Amino acid sequence: MGNALARVTSILCIPYGYTVTLWCAGAWTVTRYGPPGRSDVLLFATGAVAAFLVLALMGRPRLDPEVPMRVPAIVVLNALPILAVAIVLGVPQGAVSRGAAFLASSFLATASYVVSLATLICVLKGGPRGK
């Protein structure tokens, strides 16, 4: 059972953390601005996808030929959603309009999570370029 748990958690650690982060960002945005309309849902998806694409394009030149790339085992202890959600929670209500809030919260959640995870991997692998 221990081997099976290790395998499953190692496979799920990164997407699980992202799911928790994005859900919290959406829940917080709805709490502050009310239920989303059709355009708000589209803006939320657009913000998340935009952040992911920007960061993916930045990392693309260093991508291994096959994905997923191997990551340090410590990444299984993925508590980074807490940091990413704290960043989203730190944006003051009313700082942006309702529509922009749905776009910004998903963009910020995605960027915060991906960058914090990338930073952890770089540190664990020995420097800014991650060996």
Token pair, residue 68, equals 């997923």
Q: What is the pLDDT of residue 127?
A: 62
pTM of the model: 0.82
Write out the H or E segment, with its range, that includes residue 57: helix 38-59
Average pLDDT, the chain: 86
Q: What is the pLDDT of residue 77?
A: 76
Query: Using CB atoms within 10 A of its CB, is residue 32 exposed (0-12), middle (13-18) or buried (19+)?
Result: middle
Query: Using CB atoms within 10 A of its CB, is residue 97 exposed (0-12), middle (13-18) or buried (19+)?
Result: exposed
pLDDT, tens digit (0-9, with 9 covering 90-100), for 35-80:
999 999 999 999 999 999 999 889 888 776 666 667 777 777 788 8
Mean pLDDT confidence for 121-131: 70
Q: What is the pLDDT of residue 9?
A: 85
Q: What is the pLDDT of residue 88?
A: 87
* Segments making up each domain of the chain, as ranges: 2-125
pLDDT, tens digit (0-9, with 9 covering 90-100), for 100-113:
999 999 999 999 99
pLDDT above 60 for 129: no
Greatest mean pLDDT among 11-15, 51-55, 77-81, 117-121: 51-55
